[in-house]
Chains A and B, each alone.
Chain A
Amino acid sequence: MSLLTLDHLTVRRDNTIPVNDVSLTVAPGECIGLIGPNGAGKTTLLRAALGLIAAEGHSSLAPLSPRARAARVAWLPQQRDIAWAVSVGHLVSLGATARGRRPDHPSVAQALARMGLAAFRDRPATALSGGEQARVLIARALAQDTPLLLVDEPIAGLDPAQQIRTMRSLRALADDTQTEGGRAVVVSLHDLGLAARHCTRLIVLQQGRLVADGPPAAVLTEARMASVFGIACHHVDTPDGPVFQPMATVEP
């Protein structure tokens, strides 16, 4: 059973088509990296898939009521914007209450532990550093305890260790076989190296169109690096996985 199906999804704005005829399915166990240059339509695609903006075509999540959707998918926008000085524990518990569960549901403690936040529980979330706030917000999404997690650029602005930890926990979530039916993660990001190492599948967007979809090694070819990203990459396969280092810009 797929966790998300998009069928010819298209988003039109005045003179542009930020998402153009995208079809894909997301199956349990997948950790999908959504990559593409700035303005390729990554965020718009995720928001349209959720039904947060109007789109043509079909998304399996868009017709759901807000309540039903909250049980199927958790969404972590890129803006790390916490309006009030609420405690970390309370903020993360909003993930559980979104499902109509009690704020002390086990998923909350689990999410706090998974993101290494147990000690921060009673601290005001707004008093934490940017990296810590990013973890709190991921924990909030995890506490929603949904089979599907859509995450928009979760590692932007994090230090290298936090980037690796974040990608590992997202991958661990997709690998989780304990949950009935399995889980999947779709994460948009710019770091091709991290995407290649931690994702099971990569989807490339260019000017709103899906131009490649497959395992990282098949997607990140030299020709595609040049045509989509306009870069030349140094590519080495190591025992820890592939290493991609952008080296120079090239004319596409």
Chain B
Amino acid sequence: MKFPLLLAALAGLVLALFLLSLLTGVAQVAPGESLRALLFGDGGPLTLVMREIRLPRALLAVMVGASLGLSGAAMQGFLRNPLAEPGVIGISAAAALGAVLALQTGLAAAFTLALPGAALAGAVLGVSLILLLAGRGGGALPLILAGVALSALASALTSLVLNLSPNPFAANEIVFWMMGSLADRSFEHVWMALPVMALGWLALSRCGPGLEALTLGEDAAASMGTNLRRLRLLLVGGVAAAVGASTAVAGSVGFVGLVVPHVLRPLVGGRPARLLPAAALGGAALVLAADIAVRLVLPGRDLKLGVLMALVGAPVFLHLIWRMRGQP
């Protein structure tokens, strides 16, 4: 498929799913009426539902999905490995730890943005630690090792908080939060996450030429005009901003960053730079679809987005590996 056509098709899919997401919810209303209430507003409860509940939810699905898809594509390109995912450098685990601490200390109940704020602080702390640990070079291996170490440390501390939690309700809340969800989010979440994510998208969108050169390995890329140190800084900063903000507003949502780039790679001729925008759109479409599904499959039971994603993502991934077996 021609690349512009692919992007147009993916954008069309995102738009269609965005509209579908707006029309999905507990309140059963005719589509025309919902959209009229959203666009023109009548001050009634339907306008409130559309503007304050469903619109931010759909927007967050697009933002979180695009962040995870884009980060996954960039990470796989940088590490030259189709099994890499945004979580590999430990930022999501660090963000989750921040959120868990906010929930445990009761800070999260103080004001709406305390929880995402604490998660972002966790992400910032995590990325600083990563850059410190990974050293001054531009290599991928120290980055992976630093990421594994950070992930392990953050997960251990999260477990410790749960372990020692004197308050079963807080522990319960933490476990549910960690499953990942876009339910009951507001425009406050959108406005908090958007600038951080946009910075991340900007950084990652500048990685294209470097990732292309990395197709031939680090040594060749360095000789082809790529400043590996700058590339790694852009990549780590970009992934930290995009994934940190995603985790802050939606909790842990796995598999998007792994599966989406994997599925779309053959459609862009394997080219890492072209995969970036395609995976961003693909990720947005997947999270929108999954967030619609959680509302349709078990209405009223609050099925978590992250749970559904893992339930769908893992078999899809198994299928991909099954198809890949025997290939070099």
B224 at the interface (CB under 8 A from A): yes
A98–B219 alpha-carbon span in the complex (Å): 14
Q: A84 touches which one: B220, B225, B265 (CB < 8 A)?
A: B265
Q: A140 touches which one: B214, B216, B227 (CB < 8 A)?
A: B216
| Pairwise interchain contact B209-A97, C-beta atoms closer than 8 A | yes
B269 at the interface (CB under 8 A from A): yes
| Pairwise interchain contact B269-A77, C-beta atoms closer than 8 A | no
Query: Which has the most chain A C-beta neighbours within 10 Å: B80, B219, B226?
Result: B219
B28 at the interface (CB under 8 A from A): no
* Given A86-B270, A86-B271, A124-B270, residue A91 in contact with residue B223 (CB < 8 A): no
A226–B265 alpha-carbon span in the complex (Å): 53
A13 at the interface (CB under 8 A from B): no
Within 8 A of A (CB), among B207-235: 209, 212-217, 219-220, 222-227
| Pairwise interchain contact B216-A137, C-beta atoms closer than 8 A | yes
Which partner residue on chain B sits nearest A81 by CB separation? B217
Interface of A: prevailing SS = mixed
A52 at the interface (CB under 8 A from B): yes
| Pairwise interchain contact B222-A52, C-beta atoms closer than 8 A | yes
B251 at the interface (CB under 8 A from A): no
What chain A residues lie within 8 Å of B217 (beta carbons)? 77, 79, 81, 83
A126–B215 alpha-carbon span in the complex (Å): 11
* A interface size (C-beta, 8 A): 34
| Pairwise interchain contact B269-A94, C-beta atoms closer than 8 A | no
B328 at the interface (CB under 8 A from A): yes
| Pairwise interchain contact B215-A52, C-beta atoms closer than 8 A | no
Within 8 A of B (CB), among A113-130: 124, 126
What is the 8 Å Cβ interface bit string for chain A, positions 81-100, against chain B (1 contact, 0 not)? 11111110011001101111
Q: A85 touches which one: B216, B223, B227, B270 (CB < 8 A)?
A: B270
What chain B residues lie within 8 Å of A52 (beta carbons)? 219, 222-223
B272 at the interface (CB under 8 A from A): yes
| Pairwise interchain contact B223-A50, C-beta atoms closer than 8 A | yes
What chain B residues lie within 8 Å of A90 (beta carbons)? 269, 271
* Given A81-B216, A81-B217, residue A99 in contact with residue B225 (CB < 8 A): yes
| Pairwise interchain contact A75-B215, C-beta atoms closer than 8 A | no
Which partner residue on chain A sits nearest B275 by CB separation? A84
Whole-angstrom distance from the CB of A124 to the nearest CB of chain B?
7
A74–B219 alpha-carbon span in the complex (Å): 11
Whole-angstrom distance from the CB of B224 to the nearest CB of chain A?
4
A69–B223 alpha-carbon span in the complex (Å): 7
A70 at the interface (CB under 8 A from B): yes
| Pairwise interchain contact B271-A98, C-beta atoms closer than 8 A | no
What is the 8 Å Cβ interface bit string for chain B, positions 68-99, against chain A (1 contact, 0 not)? 00000000000011000000000000000000
| Pairwise interchain contact A144-B224, C-beta atoms closer than 8 A | yes
What chain B residues lie within 8 Å of A140 (beta carbons)? 216
| Pairwise interchain contact B212-A83, C-beta atoms closer than 8 A | no
A67–B227 alpha-carbon span in the complex (Å): 8
Which partner residue on chain B sits nearest A99 by CB separation? B225
| Pairwise interchain contact B225-A98, C-beta atoms closer than 8 A | yes
A73 at the interface (CB under 8 A from B): yes
* Given A84-B272, A86-B215, A86-B269, residue A77 in contact with residue B225 (CB < 8 A): no
Whole-angstrom distance from the CB of A8 to the nearest CB of chain B?
23
| Pairwise interchain contact B216-A94, C-beta atoms closer than 8 A | yes
Q: B220 touches which one: A77, A87, A99 (CB < 8 A)?
A: A77
* Given A66-B227, A67-B225, A98-B224, residue A84 in contact with residue B216 (CB < 8 A): no
What chain A residues lie within 8 Å of B223 (beta carbons)? 50, 52, 69-70, 73-75
Whole-angstrom distance from the CB of A73 to the nearest CB of chain B?
7
A90–B212 alpha-carbon span in the complex (Å): 10
Query: Which has the most chain A C-beta neighbours within 10 Å: B209, B215, B269?
Result: B215
| Pairwise interchain contact B225-A82, C-beta atoms closer than 8 A | no
| Pairwise interchain contact B270-A69, C-beta atoms closer than 8 A | no
What chain A residues lie within 8 Å of B272 (beta carbons)? 84
* Given A47-B219, A52-B222, A77-B220, residue A84 in contact with residue B227 (CB < 8 A): no
The 4 closest A-B pairs by CB, nearest first: A75-B223, A70-B225, A98-B224, A84-B270
Given contacts A91-B215, A137-B216, 15 further A-B contacts (CB under 8 A): A52-B222, A67-B225, A75-B219, A77-B217, A83-B81, A84-B80, A84-B215, A84-B272, A85-B269, A86-B270, A87-B270, A91-B216, A94-B215, A95-B224, A97-B209
A residues sitting closer than 8 Å to B (CB atoms) are 47, 50, 52, 65-67, 69-70, 73-77, 79, 81-87, 90-91, 94-95, 97-100, 124, 126, 137, 140, 144
B residues sitting closer than 8 Å to A (CB atoms) are 80-81, 209, 212-217, 219-220, 222-227, 265-266, 269-272, 328
